[in-house]
C-alpha cells in the first residue's frame, strides 16, 4: 500500500483531515498483541476511547480506502449513539462512493442509524429494499432480510 494507496493525494488529504494516523509495525509489542494483529496491512479505526470499531485486513486500493475509512468512522459514531454524526459519514460514502465495496454495509447501517435515531422502522424496510435491488447477493442484504416484513 506504500507504493499505491498511501501516496494517493485524495487518500493523503482524507487521512490528514479526518483521522489521527498511527503506523505501528505488525510485530511491535504491546500494541500488536493488544489489537491482535496477525497480518499486514491491518488498519484499525478506533473511537476516542481507544475501542476498535472497524478493521481492514489486507491490501486496500486508493479507490476503496476513503469509503472504507468513512464506514469505519461512521461505525465509531454509531457505536457511541451519535446517529446524526454517523449518518453524515454514511451518506457521504453513499453519495461519493456508491460503487465501493463498503456501500452495501453503509446502506444497512444507514437504515439502522435512522431507526435508532427516530424509532421509526420504515428506514429498515427501505434499507432492505435498496440492498435487494442494488446488492442482491450481499451479506448485508441477507442480514436485512427480516426487515422486508416491516410495513
pLDDT band at residue 2 under the 50/70/90 scheme:
confident
Q: Is 114 a residue whose pLDDT tops 90?
A: yes
Strand-pair partners of 45: 54
**82-96 tens-digit pLDDT:** 999 999 999 999 999
What kind of architecture, by CATH, is found in domain 9-149? Alpha Horseshoe (1.25)
Domain map (residue ranges) of the chain: 9-149
**Mean of pLDDT values over 13-34:** 92
Q: Is 122 a residue whose pLDDT tops 90?
A: yes
Angle between helices 103-118 and 122-134 (to 10 degrees): 170
The whole-number pLDDT of residue 26 equals 84
Amino acid at each position: 500500500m506504500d507504493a499505491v494507496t498511501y501516496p494517493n493525494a485524495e487518500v493523503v488529504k482524507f487521512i490528514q483531515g479526518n483521522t489521527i494516523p498511527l503506523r505501528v509495525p505488525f510485530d511491535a509489542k504491546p500494541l500488536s498483541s493488544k489489537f491482535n494483529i496477525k497480518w499486514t496491512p491491518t488498519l484499525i479505526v478506533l473511537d476516542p476511547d481507544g475501542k476498535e470499531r472497524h478493521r481492514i485486513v489486507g491490501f486496500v486500493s486508493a479507490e476503496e480506502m476513503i469509503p472504507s475509512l468513512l464506514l469505519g468512522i461512521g461505525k465509531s459514531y454509531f457505536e457511541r449513539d451519535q446517529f446524526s454524526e454517523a449518518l453524515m459519514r454514511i451518506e457521504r460514502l453513499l453519495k461519493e462512493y456508491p460503487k465501493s465495496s463498503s456501500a452495501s454495509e453503509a446502506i444497512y447501517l444507514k437504515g439502522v442509524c435512522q431507526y435508532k435515531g427516530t424509532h421509526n422502522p420504515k428506514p429498515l424496510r427501505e434499507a432492505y429494499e435498496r440492498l435487494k435491488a442494488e446488492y442482491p447477493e450481499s451479506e448485508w442484504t441477507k442480514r436485512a432480510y427480516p426487515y422486508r416484513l416491516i410495513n
